[in-house]
Structure 1
Amino acid sequence: MALTVSLALLAALLFAVAAVLQQQGTSGVDDDDALGAGMLASLARRPVWVLGMACDVAGFGVQAWALATGSLLLVQPLLVTTLLFALPLGARATRRALTTDEWGWSGVLVASLFAFVLLGQPTAGVDRTPFTSWIPILVLSTPVVALCVLSAGSLPHGTRRSLSLAIAAGLLLGLSAPLTKGAIDGFADGIGAGLLTWELWGMALTAALGTFWQQSSYQAGDVQTSLPTVSVLKPVVAMVLGLTTYQEVLQIDGPADGLLVAALVGMVAATVQLGRLAAPALEDPTTPAPAP
């Protein structure tokens, strides 16, 4: 478990650095390019964004390593510590101290994660499932993602556009984590067999589109909405699939069930609040945060 936890935290750090760099890179992109290939062409000419993407790719690689050694129910909640790393990075960029709220909600998140791991004792299930078990998931998620992206194209710059794109990104990035487990397991039979697994290409597609629309949600102008939305949806979707499709187990039959539920609620609440607190620095690194 120690290796899995260490790798998940390292992935979270890389994702935090990527988020800061990518937000700086997407600043000033024209709205007309925010949903198409024009955005990628523009961003590819920005070194700060390219460096952010390199950190993102490295983060995905370390996350995949963590998933190869542990369960979705352990790795994905730990990835919300991305926000704990993003806060000091944002504070450093604005040359300020962390506020009382930031320290407080960081403490709530750390305590909730510790309680969840200690009480829930997440246990791994299967590494791969038949494609047929994914059909209901795809039938439910594909129309939602399509509707969010299509509706975003007709929405003005601001909160609703950010939220719509963030929902699409969060769903896809949540799906990419369990697909990663299947892709890694496929390589156990050799490189050729691994390259032919549908999970590998499904993971590549969901991760690429999810990351792209996450960038678009940042660019849409309301990081205080998009960052918490993606940060919550990613682990929630992956954990639901871990408990169901991937047959992972939480210890929920004991007297501490109430504390486990409280830990989950604390994780979600802290993630939302920290996302909102971290957003101003990501939205405009030159804008000081509110005083404590």
Structure 2
Amino acid sequence: MIILSVVLALVAALGNAAASVLQRHAAAADLPQPSGGRSARRFGFIRHPAWRWGAGLLLFSGVAQALALAAGPLAVVQPVMTTELLFTLVLAAAVFRWPPGARTWGAFLGMALGLAAFLLLAGPTGGTETVAPKRWLASAVPAAAVSIVLVVVGKELRGPARAVVLGSATAIGFSFTAALMKDTLGLVAGGHRDLLTTWQIYTAAAVGLSSFLMLQATLRAGSLAASQPALTLGDSLLSVILGVSLFQERINLGWRVLPEVASLVLIAFACVHLSRSPLVSGKEAQRW
């Protein structure tokens, strides 16, 4: 089942990356043309077929991620979802005909190797399908408190520092959304008949929407190079913690801690470099 969850998470990450590239392609096609050409219509890109395909892929990716969470540990699925950056790089290079440089390819390989090494070393396994309310309470209360502090502090900051702080708050929201989705799917698998009477499904929707809105504030706060590492690593690391604390998943520690930390550092450096690439940040649309 873990292999299935990894495959489904990769499919979800690929779908997210493809949706991002397609919608950027639609936005680029709607840019005003120089020398007296057509002017851009407000939200005209929504009518572009590429944008609609991208929206459809986002829905498809959401389903694939949900199935991945149902099939495997949270501590596996969310870290694998970070491959969205890698898929975005490859697809954007093909669509916008802008070959990545040698350093960008190096960052690509570094992130892939770092992620593979972390998953092999940590080896997340086991876990329950649902979460007891007291474990939710023990995790959600401090996480909510930290998120509030991050948002308050972020409002007082400017530039990259604000992007990092708000990105960290967004990562907390996304990781809890995934955990709530997994808990909801566990109830379904356990034979719960009236899902609409459970608090998990409504909380997941509320936290997910709040996280999406926070993401928009994060992206406006500063460059992607500042916010993306906090988003990517924060979501992955907290998901590993939630997998252990909520779903009682098991990860290998002991002597493996140091190489696991080294793998995370490699992922962090690679993530920073990839986030600076125009192919990932979306700046290639200006050239295309």
TM-score by length of 1: 0.79
Please list the CA deviations of residues 250-288 of structure 1 after superposition, one character each: whole Å capped at 9, or x if unmatched.
1224x55543332233233323332333x6653433346
- Once residues 236 and 225 of structure 1 are traced to their aligned partners in structure 2, the CA distance between those partners, rounded to angstroms, is 18
Whether the aligned pair in 2 keeps the contact of 1:84 and 1:106 (CA below 8 Å) is: yes
Counterpart in 1 of 2:98? Answer: 96
Counterpart in 1 of 2:81? Answer: 79
Counterpart in 2 of 1:135? Answer: 137
User: 2:103 aligns to what SS in structure 1?
Assistant: helix
- Once residues 23 and 227 of structure 1 are traced to their aligned partners in structure 2, the CA distance between those partners, rounded to angstroms, is 17
Consecutive unaligned residues in structure 2, runs of 5 or more: 29-41
Counterpart in 2 of 1:176? Answer: 177
Please list the CA deviations of residues 134-175 of structure 1 after superposition, one character each: whole Å capped at 9, or x if unmatched.
22333222234344445666766x434433432222110011
Whether the aligned pair in 2 keeps the contact of 1:15 and 1:59 (CA below 8 Å) is: yes
Pair 1:25–1:240, CA change in 2 (3 A): farther
- Measure how far apart 1:195 and its partner are: 2.2
Whether the aligned pair in 2 keeps the contact of 1:183 and 1:199 (CA below 8 Å) is: yes
Counterpart in 2 of 1:286? Answer: 285
Please list the CA deviations of residues 99-140 of structure 1 after superposition, one character each: whole Å capped at 9, or x if unmatched.
112111211222222222333321021122222222233322
- Code of the aligned partner of 1:260: E
Please list the CA deviations of residues 185-242 of structure 1 after superposition, one character each: whole Å capped at 9, or x if unmatched.
1113556432222222222122222122213322445222222221121111111111
Work out whether 1:63 is the aligned partner of 2:65: yes
TM-score by length of 2: 0.80
User: 1:46 aligns to what SS in structure 2?
Assistant: helix
- Code of the aligned partner of 1:282: S
- Once residues 43 and 214 of structure 2 are traced to their aligned partners in structure 1, the CA distance between those partners, rounded to angstroms, is 13
Counterpart in 1 of 2:240? Answer: 239
Counterpart in 2 of 1:269? Answer: 269
Whether the aligned pair in 2 keeps the contact of 1:93 and 1:286 (CA below 8 Å) is: no
Consecutive unaligned residues in structure 1, runs of 5 or more: 28-41
Whether the aligned pair in 1 keeps the contact of 2:27 and 2:45 (CA below 8 Å) is: no
- Once residues 12 and 74 of structure 1 are traced to their aligned partners in structure 2, the CA distance between those partners, rounded to angstroms, is 13
- Once residues 135 and 257 of structure 1 are traced to their aligned partners in structure 2, the CA distance between those partners, rounded to angstroms, is 28
Counterpart in 1 of 2:215? Answer: 214
Q: How does 1:147-166 map to 2 (within 5 A)?
A: 147-149=149-151, 158-166=159-167
Counterpart in 2 of 1:2? Answer: 3
- Once residues 124 and 186 of structure 1 are traced to their aligned partners in structure 2, the CA distance between those partners, rounded to angstroms, is 17
- Once residues 138 and 274 of structure 1 are traced to their aligned partners in structure 2, the CA distance between those partners, rounded to angstroms, is 32
Pair 1:119–1:163, CA change in 2 (3 A): closer
- Code of the aligned partner of 1:276: R
Whether the aligned pair in 1 keeps the contact of 2:225 and 2:273 (CA below 8 Å) is: no
Counterpart in 2 of 1:38? Answer: none
- Measure how far apart 1:94 and its partner are: 4.2
Please list the CA deviations of residues 37-65 of structure 1 after superposition, one character each: whole Å capped at 9, or x if unmatched.
xxxxx879835766544433322221110
User: 2:124 aligns to what SS in structure 1?
Assistant: coil
Whether the aligned pair in 2 keeps the contact of 1:67 and 1:75 (CA below 8 Å) is: yes
- Once residues 174 and 230 of structure 1 are traced to their aligned partners in structure 2, the CA distance between those partners, rounded to angstroms, is 10
Pair 1:235–1:202, CA change in 2 (3 A): same
- Code of the aligned partner of 1:170: A
- Code of the aligned partner of 2:209: A
Whether the aligned pair in 2 keeps the contact of 1:7 and 1:63 (CA below 8 Å) is: yes
Whether the aligned pair in 2 keeps the contact of 1:281 and 1:287 (CA below 8 Å) is: no
- Code of the aligned partner of 1:284: K
User: 2:284 aligns to what SS in structure 1?
Assistant: coil
Whether the aligned pair in 1 keeps the contact of 2:228 and 2:271 (CA below 8 Å) is: no
- Once residues 93 and 45 of structure 1 are traced to their aligned partners in structure 2, the CA distance between those partners, rounded to angstroms, is 17
Counterpart in 2 of 1:260? Answer: 260
- Once residues 231 and 148 of structure 2 are traced to their aligned partners in structure 1, the CA distance between those partners, rounded to angstroms, is 16
**Bigger Cα displacement from structure 2, 179-188 vs 227-236:** 227-236
Pair 1:137–1:120, CA change in 2 (3 A): closer
Whether the aligned pair in 2 keeps the contact of 1:186 and 1:193 (CA below 8 Å) is: no
Aligned-residue RMSD, C-alpha: 3.2
Counterpart in 2 of 1:203? Answer: 204
- Once residues 224 and 287 of structure 1 are traced to their aligned partners in structure 2, the CA distance between those partners, rounded to angstroms, is 18
- Measure how far apart 1:82 and its partner are: 0.6
